[in-house]
């Protein structure tokens, strides 16, 4: 996973979306407060890790990409970050109050990650997988069509999440709970283009970059309002499962 994202680490930190507070609230209600550090696996530049730290959690972010972690560490306060793989977490047995993976689990060997998450979990801990999925209408729908014409990698990783059945098979017989939250992110042109440039599939696109960005600009202007912003609509999806029986 790391080499794909190394070249776009700076753009990733600057332009990738966070996760809706309403969904994080619902997860806290479901799981209760974490009874120990939150281990955020595939943390990238620390987007979710910073959100969780701001909500009062002690957070350890883990990622295999040194450039991504260098971006994450630009914030002096908050989470601590370690180099590591999802399938071999540099975390002691029974030490984590929660294990999260945001926009990342589809890059893991999911059964191996499930085993590691259980290994590091304290009693009562939960595993959480989160993704922002673009909707199929408006600016997001246009973006999808443009990228489908530009990148074979995009077509393969469009939604970037395992199915619920895949995760259930990996953590069986544990129950997996699915939560969804619609939300919208109003972007100016710089932020919209930056978000596109932060993706591995655009960095490795087969199509001429100038032509691709011209199509993105035309689409953006179609949907932008008088304030120069256009809404990029998402559905945030979360999978939650108990890692160990509660004591």
Q: Tell me the pLDDT of the chain (247 aa) as tens digits.
A: 555 667 778 888 999 999 999 999 999 999 999 999 999 999 999 999 999 999 999 999 999 999 999 999 998 778 999 999 999 999 999 999 999 999 999 889 999 999 999 999 999 999 999 999 999 999 999 999 998 888 777 766 655 677 889 899 999 999 999 999 999 999 999 999 999 988 877 766 666 888 999 999 999 999 999 999 999 999 999 999 999 775 5
The pLDDT score that the predictor gives to residue 204 is: 60
Q: What is the pLDDT of residue 160?
A: 60
- pTM for this predicted structure: 0.91
Using DSSP, state whether 149 is helix, strand or coil. Answer: helix
Cα dihedral sign, 91-94-95-97: positive
Q: How much is the pLDDT for 203? A: 63
DSSP at 36:
S
**C-alpha dist (Å) from residue 223 to 67, 74, 77:** 34, 34, 38
Contacts 24+ apart (CB under 8 A), 158-162: 159/131, 159/133, 160/103, 160/106, 160/131, 160/133, 161/105, 161/106, 161/129, 161/131, 161/133, 161/237, 162/105, 162/106, 162/110, 162/129
Distances (CA, A) of 51 to 18, 29, 102, 220: 8, 16, 11, 28
Kindly list the domain boundaries of the chain, sorted by start residue: 2-135+159-186+234-242
Give the class (CATH, top level) of 2-135+159-186+234-242.
alpha beta
Residue 77: CB partners within 8 Å, gap ≥ 6? none
What local confidence, expressed as pLDDT, does residue 108 receive? 93
**pLDDT score for 206:** 61
Angstrom distances, CA of residue 216 to CA of 48, 197, 211, 239: 27, 11, 9, 32
Residue 115 · residue 89 · CB < 8 Å: no
For 201, the token pair is 């599939």
For 98, phi and psi rounded to 5 degrees? Answer: -165, 145
With a CB cutoff of 8 Å and minimum separation 6, the contacts of 3 are: none
* SS3 state at 246: coil
Query: Do residues 109 and 223 touch, judged by C-beta distance below 8 A?
Result: no
């Amino acid at each position: 996973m790391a080499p794909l994202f190394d070249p776009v680490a700076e753009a990733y930190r600057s332009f990738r979306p966070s996760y809706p507070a309403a969904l994080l609230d619902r997860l806290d209600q479901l799981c209760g407060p974490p009874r120990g550090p939150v281990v955020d696996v595939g943390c990238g530049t620390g987007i979710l890790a910073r959100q969780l730290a701001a909500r009062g959690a002690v957070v350890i972010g883990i990622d295999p990409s040194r450039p991504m972690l260098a971006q994450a560490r630009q914030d002096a306060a908050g989470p601590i970050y370690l180099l590591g793989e999802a399938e071999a977490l540099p975390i002691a047995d029974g030490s984590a109050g929660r294990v999260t993976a945001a926009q990342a689990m589809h890059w893991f060997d999911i059964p191996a990650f499930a085993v590691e998450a259980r290994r590091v979990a304290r009693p009562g801990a939960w595993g959480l997988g989160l993704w922002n999925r673009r909707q199929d209408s408006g600016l997001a729908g246009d973006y999808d069509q443009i990228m489908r014409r530009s990148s074979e990698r995009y077509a393969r990783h469009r939604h970037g999440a395992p199915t619920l059945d895949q995760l259930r098979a990996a953590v069986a017989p544990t129950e997996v709970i699915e939560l969804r939250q619609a939300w919208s992110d109003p972007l100016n042109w710089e932020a919209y283009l930056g978000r596109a440039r932060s993706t591995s599939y655009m960095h490795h696109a087969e199509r001429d970059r100038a032509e691709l960005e011209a199509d993105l600009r035309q689409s953006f202007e179609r949907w932008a309002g008088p304030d120069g912003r256009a809404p990029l609509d998402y559905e945030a999806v979360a999978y939650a499962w108990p890692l160990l029986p509660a004591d």
